[in-house]
Amino acid sequence: MGETKYVPSGGLAFTEEQDMKKLSDYAKEGWILAGFAPLGYKLIKGTPQNLIYCVDYHKDVDEEYFSLFEAAGWAHICSQGNEIHIFSAPAGTTPIYSDKETLMEKYEREKRQMGKWAVPFLIATLVFFFLSGMLPKILGIVSMVLGLICFIVLIFSGLPYLAYLVKLNKLRKQ
């Protein structure tokens, strides 16, 4: 196998456009996206190409989904959990979202997904932190630890949730 390179991602919720631009720049130098890697992307050395990259979020898609992309000139590169999909196409190909309504739905779907985690864990975090102050020693410590665990989950869902909220507001104003 050829040379490989690892490129970190800023987190798709925060740096989607920058990530895709970066992958496109690498492709011009001959580093072609091969798949996801932990917290980033794996590239393989090949021939330089003028490619554009796009990410789509869609849960439990069927074969029709991929055949539509293929027919439109977008090659499927990789997917994570049958939900996050990356495609590439020669520069100049029609974008995967051609209207604002469906583009906004892409981020609405992700926002809802994150909200499903963020809201209950926000409540759990608050409850555990409150209880840790009320309960006697050992139980208080247990409650504090549980609260911290919930807080970590809250960070990883709440921040993307806010990022999508900002993105949607920007789109709405356009």
Partner 1 sequence: MPRNDSLEMGELTDTAYYILLSLVEAKHGYLIMKFIEDLTDHQFTIGPASMYTTIKKLLSSELIQLCADEDEKRKTYIATDKGMELLKKEVERRRIMVQHAEQIFKSKGVL
Tell which residue, 102, 49, 99, has the closest CA to residue 77: 49
Shortest spacing between CB 69 and partner 1, in angstroms: 4
Per rule CB under 8 A, is residue 95 in the interface with partner 1?
Answer: yes
Stretch binding partner 1 (CB under 8 A), from 13-21, 63-71, 122-130, 146-154: 63-71
Q: How far lies 162's CA from each of 47, 127, 138, 155, 159, in Å?
A: 39, 22, 35, 10, 5
> Under a CB-based contact definition with an 8 Å cutoff, are residues 6 and 14 in contact?
no
Asked if 74 touches partner 1 (CB under 8 A), the answer is: yes
Q: Per CB under 8 A, does 75 bind partner 1?
A: no
- Beta carbon nearer to partner 1, 10 or 95: 95
CB atoms within 10 A of CB 111: 20
Q: Is residue 89 within 8 Å of 51, Cβ to Cβ?
A: yes
Candidate segments 36-44, 61-69, 122-130, 147-155, binder of partner 1 by CB under 8 A: 61-69
Which are the contacts of 89, defined by CB distance < 8 A and separation ≥ 6? 51, 52, 54, 73, 74, 75
**What is the spatial distance between Cα 36 and Cα 71, in angstroms, rounded to a whole number?**
24
Is 105 one of the binding residues for partner 1 (CB under 8 A)?
yes
Contact stretch for partner 1 (CB under 8 A) within 4-12, 25-33, 105-113, 151-159: 105-113
Nearer to partner 1, 105 or 162 (CB): 105
By the criterion CB under 8 A, which residues form the site for partner 1? 54, 56, 58, 61-65, 67-69, 71-72, 74, 94-99, 101-106, 108
